[in-house]
Structure 1
């Protein structure tokens, strides 16, 4: 089994943390893993993208070819659309519906949502709003990971949840539990998708 995932967003949104959690879970599960990261501006606000390839067989390249991604996980709706050419026909887009307007010519929000809604396989949610409502504003990325968990397939939601515990262990039990709760919120939100 193989799973090719593109992670995208804007600097500071936690895309690389999502990649770390998935990668750590894959390593513990004994899967082969290749990752390639592309950082935009090194400061908060530049686009950030990561190719994450997981397989129970040998992986020869760390880059995902056009039309080959099984899943796009995006912290920002415009960034999700940027990588659509990489998505395979049956692939899914899991994205935040909260725009991060970091450029002066950001697309019209209504048109952006219309384009997202026209996709055959999309799950979107206002994760930033949910994170704030639950007093966990820095956990929106883990809510998104929870949403994406059922679409990852090669790893179970429980394997990802356990990985959260290991990745955040050095930050203390309170941070671990908050991130596990964020993951569960996203997992629950995706049940109806």
Structure 2
């Protein structure tokens, strides 16, 4: 099992939280994990990326080579295009559709999504709508994690365990809200591409 994941967005969108949850799930399964330091400006509104590598074998570099990413998980649509050179020919982009407009002359949203559609296999996610449905706009990033879960290579239940661990200190209500957000994201992704489910994700503690 080898998965190379780039998580992209802007500061304040919870990119490190996504990476930490995936890390917890992978480590719990005895997998090897390497995560690069965040690149770019991590203050709120600055571009952020994280390279996350998961494998059943030893990993020798924490940076993903060009053309080798299995997944670009983008919390902001324009940021997904920044990392296209890293995406493998079989790779997938999972991106939020709602922009974070932090620059002048931000691209036209319709044209932006059309460019993403033309660039690679992709799953667009209405993460803001689903986060509000889950109970809080702050679950935006966990909605995106759920949408990306069919492509991560780790069973849904293992990721949910990691969510419970990550948010456990904040109480049961926070855990349940984020589990709901995760499931809503997963549901939307599965509806769009039902052939790419967790049957391709063999790692579980069962």
| TM class, shorter-length | over 0.9
Once residues 9 and 42 of structure 1 are traced to their aligned partners in structure 2, the CA distance between those partners, rounded to angstroms, is 10
**Structure 1 moving runs of 4+ over 4 Å:** none
Are 2:97 and 1:106 aligned? no
Give the structure 2 partner of residue 171 of structure 1.
170
Give the structure 2 partner of residue 24 of structure 1.
24
When normalised by structure 1's length, the TM-score is: 0.96
Q: How does 1:178-193 map to 2 (within 5 A)?
A: 178-192=177-191, 193=193
| Residue correspondences, number | 192
**Can you give the 5+ residue segments of structure 1 that lack an aligned partner in the other structure?**
none
Give the structure 1 partner of residue 204 of structure 2.
none
Once residues 111 and 103 of structure 2 are traced to their aligned partners in structure 1, the CA distance between those partners, rounded to angstroms, is 16
Once residues 110 and 44 of structure 2 are traced to their aligned partners in structure 1, the CA distance between those partners, rounded to angstroms, is 25
RMSD (Å) for aligned C-alpha atoms? 1.1
Give the structure 1 partner of residue 8 of structure 2.
8
Cα displacement (A) at 1:37 = 2.4
**Can you give the 5+ residue segments of structure 2 that lack an aligned partner in the other structure?**
194-206
Give the structure 1 partner of residue 41 of structure 2.
41
Once residues 165 and 85 of structure 2 are traced to their aligned partners in structure 1, the CA distance between those partners, rounded to angstroms, is 34
When normalised by structure 2's length, the TM-score is: 0.90
Cα displacement (A) at 1:105 = 2.6
Cα displacement (A) at 1:39 = 4.0
Give the structure 1 partner of residue 79 of structure 2.
79
> Is the CA contact (8 Å cut-off) linking 1:11 and 1:40 kept in structure 2?
no
